[in-house]
Structure 1
């Protein structure tokens, strides 16, 4: 089988989707699959500095970047479209990522025209909150383009069981659940916290609460600000680290939330952290918080848990399995619930430590990129052989 993975963007400024797509390609290739990945050089307000329109060979797959015009995540690339028209027939299956993007809709149309099976991964963009945000535009686009594309897809890959339920409620049955993962070796030996303290000395000797994600309305920073103010009133040594890129110019609004709550002086906005510095932030943190309204399946939640951090995450993170395994506090999407979860940890440090240890083991055992690839390959094989999708991954078979 020859697999073409397509995403309109893969720049790190777009958040977890970019990492998930690359890691999926790498893991599939490591298991012997022939994988090509194509994308554009968009990186939100910037451009990726990579050679264009030529194959770049990674360890287990190859990637090709195309020039584009873009405004945030709205992307147009004539070179990519021309390449697809000439080359898409060379592939057995096309795997697309994200929805509500005209360039992705074109790929689906071309697959239908050339009779090439395709699998779609919405990455949480069909969740109720995501559909309601700028709702009238999405309803119009969904009814004209996305609904038909989803119907004609050979499979819809979701990354959480809750997401599977929500996609099924839209009327689709051909759903498989293959979650995101982590590389265990990246989290077995984290760097020293001092690496983080050197860059952000105001965080030293504090009880650090870490938020790791994009500065975006759906991430719940409007809830976190008053929740953190409540926590800090009881635990003055706490300090909040907000680590993530400002993709859409939302930073000043987010900062205003904390100013209004009276706790901005105890918050450090680091911008996006990568590599050793991100892992050092995870090592320095005492707690992890994800107050999101909506996620597909958060990469940063997996990273926080894999780092052994006690985590407070909302039901919007689509991870009830963490609560079932007693590996995280999963709380309602409101200020009091988030504050209570954080206070519970800070009031019971031994309990918090035990929760973090359970979280780490839970992620290492169940959520790695290799295990994700091992689940995805039978889906491709079923599509290639024109056989039913694997029952053990099918939401309709599990419910």
Structure 2
């Protein structure tokens, strides 16, 4: 099987989509699929999360000008589609020129087209810069999604949100995967202090003002709060001002972006993961925290009801009061109770959210599109 995938960028600073694309195609390639990624890059030496597997190749459009880079991307995709004649094209994201280019070129050639919106039609996301997205929706984005052979949602909640936009075609519900670190938290924390961790983009969508307000009300004795991740639109300054306003400067810290082994070590050193988000199509950091053996606390803005179903965390409304109650409960648990919750979370990720499992399901969907196998259980229609 030969797949061409299109994505606006593989720059690690662009958040979860580049990380997802890198991991997805590394593991899909391991199943014997040949993959070519066509993407943009701000200049030839710009950082990228490029899959390193012999079955994966990457073609870059590298012009510094946005307009010229998009023109290069169009030319590159057209050349690669003519050269490789792929079985299908998988596009990532919405609203961007790369999505238009992918849709036009696949439609023109009659190549099957799969689209992963990556949460970009979630209620909070669609309201952010809403008038621009409304114009784009009626101008081109709706027709792209209606013509797609399959839409890929990462959770039933995202699938329903896509259905609410009137999209009735086949929908593959496949979670994002998470790498399983070889080392995870298997002993209770020692010493006098405990640590709660937020690790994600510092962005208004993530609900950090609510977390700071809830933390100021609980002020759990002997606990520190780490807020790690890249700053977007100077939101860190706003959050830091709230920290100072509530007198929490001694217990709240901002270490900045954390990646690689430093990231996994930070998970293991923590006793609780907190994501107070307003909206996530998946929330891969929740899965990473569970894979690291620590319980997670997130909101109904993320599709993680399984936290409570499997007793490995808390899933609460997106309000200060709900966060306050959950934080108080989490901090009052014994070290051994929190550790047991984390161990259940680790087992859950091993069973349902490994990249090997995700790659197998995605390959089955592609084979179904090509008529090679019966419809997988993860593909659903709007009945």
Which runs of structure 2 are paired with 1:17-56 in the superposition (5 Å)?
17-42=17-42, 48-49=46-47
Which runs of structure 2 are paired with 1:1-399 in the superposition (5 Å)?
1-42=1-42, 48-49=46-47, 58-69=53-64, 76-89=69-82, 90-173=85-168, 174-184=170-180, 186-189=181-184, 206-232=193-219, 235-349=220-334, 350-385=336-371, 390-396=375-381
Equivalents in 1 of 2:79, 2:257: separation in Å?
A: 37
Equivalents in 2 of 1:66, 1:193: separation in Å?
A: 49
Residues 248 and 91 (structure 1), Cα distance of their counterparts in 2 relative to 1, 3 Å cut? farther
- Note the alpha carbon deviations across 1:79-128, whole angstroms, 9 max, x for none: 22211122223222110111011221121112111211110000111111
Residues 213 and 56 (structure 1), Cα distance of their counterparts in 2 relative to 1, 3 Å cut? closer
- Note the alpha carbon deviations across 1:267-310, whole angstroms, 9 max, x for none: 11111111111111111111100100001111111100111111
Per-residue deviation, 1:49: 4.2
- Note the alpha carbon deviations across 1:118-160, whole angstroms, 9 max, x for none: 1000011111111111111111111111100000000000111
Q: Secondary structure at the match of 2:237?
A: helix
Contact 1:154 1:383 in 2 (8 A): yes
Residues 8 and 191 (structure 1), Cα distance of their counterparts in 2 relative to 1, 3 Å cut? farther
Equivalents in 1 of 2:68, 2:76: separation in Å?
A: 16
- TM-score, normalized by length of structure 1? 0.88
Residues 187 and 287 (structure 1), Cα distance of their counterparts in 2 relative to 1, 3 Å cut? farther
Residues 175 and 326 (structure 1), Cα distance of their counterparts in 2 relative to 1, 3 Å cut? same
Per-residue deviation, 1:57: 5.4
Contact 2:195 2:226 in 1 (8 A): yes
Per-residue deviation, 1:205: 5.4
Structure 2, unaligned stretches of length 5 or more?
A: none
Residues 387 and 140 (structure 1), Cα distance of their counterparts in 2 relative to 1, 3 Å cut? farther
Contact 1:13 1:247 in 2 (8 A): no
Contact 1:191 1:280 in 2 (8 A): no
Structure 1, unaligned stretches of length 5 or more?
A: 195-203
User: Size of the alignment, in residue pairs?
Assistant: 378
Contact 1:29 1:35 in 2 (8 A): yes
Per-residue deviation, 1:339: 1.9
Contact 2:23 2:51 in 1 (8 A): no
Residues 384 and 67 (structure 1), Cα distance of their counterparts in 2 relative to 1, 3 Å cut? same
Contact 1:210 1:285 in 2 (8 A): yes
Residues 296 and 47 (structure 1), Cα distance of their counterparts in 2 relative to 1, 3 Å cut? farther
Q: Over aligned residue pairs, what C-alpha RMSD do you find?
A: 2.7
Contact 1:193 1:283 in 2 (8 A): no
Per-residue deviation, 1:182: 1.5
Contact 1:312 1:341 in 2 (8 A): yes
Equivalents in 1 of 2:52, 2:322: separation in Å?
A: 47
